[in-house]
Structure 1
């Protein structure tokens, strides 16, 4: 996947928006979370999803990301993890799926979307998901 393009798109989107998380961004992010993340990380983000017990390394408590990063939500790190995955093996080849590739492929399937537009769509989906995760910090 073209991670550099996705990250560049995100930087442009973030720098052009005075308010990072609008209600619709959080709604879209929450929807993506519910569809793709909750099964492992739990509906509440605390790591107790339906299949959490199947993994050698338990899913991360996503409500504590800011706390573990010294009190500030690690936006870029979270975004990068979603886009590229984690290289430390936990179960199978990666600790979690690489959602950036999935979101690009999902944007292209039977929709007549150009690959460039699919990358931009994926960048937006990853950004709203990251914004949602930022919103659930305790």
Structure 2
């Protein structure tokens, strides 16, 4: 019995989603941002989208994430905010309001600490894009 449990744990730990870390596709992330995020965060990601005025919590300026975090991009915080593990209630619902849109193929990304974070391919792509637009 112990051998079966150990084998199952080994398969989980060595699965491709955990073993391979992704840098993401910034171009795909930019397209996803324009389609799903710009309405609140603005096309320039400065927090000035057309819906910003209707929100109880104003959208962040996403171009200054690195500068507001001691010149380190806060990868883990960004991933958790986007995929809902660190919810932000802005207009009566958690961000992102579209919920399962970011579900998809599992992908791993390295946090700023070097630890792997399992999330989805769209989230990894969005993070890659956000890293490219930092001041």
Q: Same fold (TM over 0.5)?
A: yes
- Give the C-alpha shift of residue 85 in structure 1: 5.5
Matches of 1:86 and 1:79, distance apart in 2:
9
Aligned residue pairs: how many? 109
**Unaligned runs of at least 5 residues, structure 1:** 1-7, 105-117
Matches of 2:132 and 2:123, distance apart in 1:
14
**Over aligned residue pairs, what C-alpha RMSD do you find?**
2.4
Matches of 1:82 and 1:45, distance apart in 2:
14
Kindly report which structure 2 residues correspond to 1:6-21, keeping only aligned pairs within 5 A, or say none: 9=17, 12-14=19-21, 20=23
**Unaligned runs of at least 5 residues, structure 2:** 1-15, 108-118
- Give the C-alpha shift of residue 101 in structure 1: 2.3
Q: Which residue in the other structure is 2:124 paired with?
A: 127
Is the helix fraction higher in 1 or 2? 1
The two structures have a TM-score, normalised by structure 2, of 0.69
The two structures have a TM-score, normalised by structure 1, of 0.68
Is the strand fraction higher in 1 or 2? 2
Runs of 4+ off more than 4 Å? none
